[in-house]
């Protein structure tokens, strides 16, 4: 019988971009997701992503049973916070290049917000003024393929981003993920948690891209301190789930299968 995975995407990347990863989880796992987090007016972005966690929990509550929570970057942090608040909604959590921050890092984030330099330590500064509109699909493809962030993408994942990350608006193609919302998410990155990570009642795995500049080696020590925490790595950078979707799906299946046996 197929088990339920709820996937949460990285900031700026609609869930359909990960279609190849989802296909790699079938048929044993059924993947649910929101098309785009942070775009429901009932759940506007606020500091520490509290309403974004509310949004995630709201949708988890519509499901008939606890889920395996899988999230990339933003999505992994949302699942961690939701699992701390509502552990009964989860069987386990897989964070794909999402850090479990140290206390010192969270203090530093709070200071950066208070003193106004948060844009310099998150991607918010690089997102400001980013191109939002394109004449056609070929122009958009050439633009994104030239960017470092997209350079390592699996070709099918890049095409999925072009298909699902852009919408027709008049005679132009525009980004589906609102750039102002994307920047707001970066600026409100959590410096608090709804509880101590050590209180997490479900298994949690952090998977780091081997060349990631977001998740560092010391974050592995943080996750290993959790009662049911473990650390893994795959080749690639911060975007490894879209660079190596088949390898990522294989690792997720292996983790969930092992956890399922433990819980049986």
pLDDT of 126 reads 77
Rounded Cα gap, residues 96 and 14, in angstroms: 16
pLDDT of 128 reads 74
Q: In 118-244, which ranges are continuous DSSP H helix?
A: 118-121, 124-127, 137-145, 148-151, 155-164, 179-187, 217-224, 240-243
pLDDT of 27 reads 93
pTM, to two decimals: 0.97
Element (DSSP H or E) covering residue 209: strand 204-209
Looking only at the bridges linking them, the beta strands covering 229-234 and 204-209 are parallel
pLDDT of 198 reads 87
The percentage of the chain sitting over the pLDDT mark of 70, rounded to a whole number, equals 100
Rounded Cα gap, residues 192 and 185, in angstroms: 15
Q: Render pLDDT for 28-76 as a digit per residue (tens, 0 to 9).
A: 999 999 999 999 999 999 999 999 999 999 999 999 999 999 999 999 9
Which residue stretches of the chain have pLDDT < 50? none
Residue 190's CB is within 10 A of a number of other CB atoms, namely: 20
Q: What six digits make up the tokens of 262?
A: 């433990």
- Domains within the chain, CATH numbers bracketed: 3-102+194-263 (3.40.50.1820), 110-183 (no CATH)
Q: How many helices (H) and strands (E) does the chain have?
A: 13, 9
Q: What six digits make up the tokens of 35?
A: 């098309």
pLDDT of 197 reads 86
């Amino acid at each position: 019988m197929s088990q339920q995975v709820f996937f949460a995407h990285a900031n700026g990347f609609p869930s359909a971009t990960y279609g190849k990863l989802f296909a790699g989880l079938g048929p044993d796992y059924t993947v649910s997701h929101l098309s785009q987090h942070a775009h429901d007016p009932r759940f506007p972005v606020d500091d520490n992503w509290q309403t974004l966690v509310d949004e995630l929990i709201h949708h988890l509550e519509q499901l008939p049973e606890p889920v395996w929570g899988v999230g990339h970057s933003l999505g992994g942090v949302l699942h961690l916070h939701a699992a701390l608040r509502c552990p009964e909604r989860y069987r386990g959590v897989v964070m794909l290049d999402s850090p479990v921050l140290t206390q010192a890092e969270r203090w530093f984030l709070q200071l950066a917000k208070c003193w106004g330099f948060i844009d310099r330590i998150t991607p918010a500064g690089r997102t400001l003024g980013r191109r939002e509109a394109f004449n056609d699909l070929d122009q958009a493809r050439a633009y994104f393929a030239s960017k470092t962030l997209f350079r390592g993408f699996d070709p099918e994942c890049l095409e999925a981003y072009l298909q699902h990350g852009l919408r027709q608006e008049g005679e132009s193609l525009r980004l589906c993920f609102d750039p102002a919302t994307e920047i707001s998410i970066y600026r409100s990155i959590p410096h608090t948690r709804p509880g101590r990570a050590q209180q997490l009642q479900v298994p949690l795995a952090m998977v780091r891209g081997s060349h990631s500049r977001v998740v560092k080696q010391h974050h592995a020590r943080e996750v290993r301190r959790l009662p049911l925490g473990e650390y893994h790595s795959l080749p690639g950078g911060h975007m490894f789930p879209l660079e190596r979707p088949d390898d990522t799906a294989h690792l997720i299946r292996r983790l969930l299968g092992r956890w399922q046996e433990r819980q049986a």
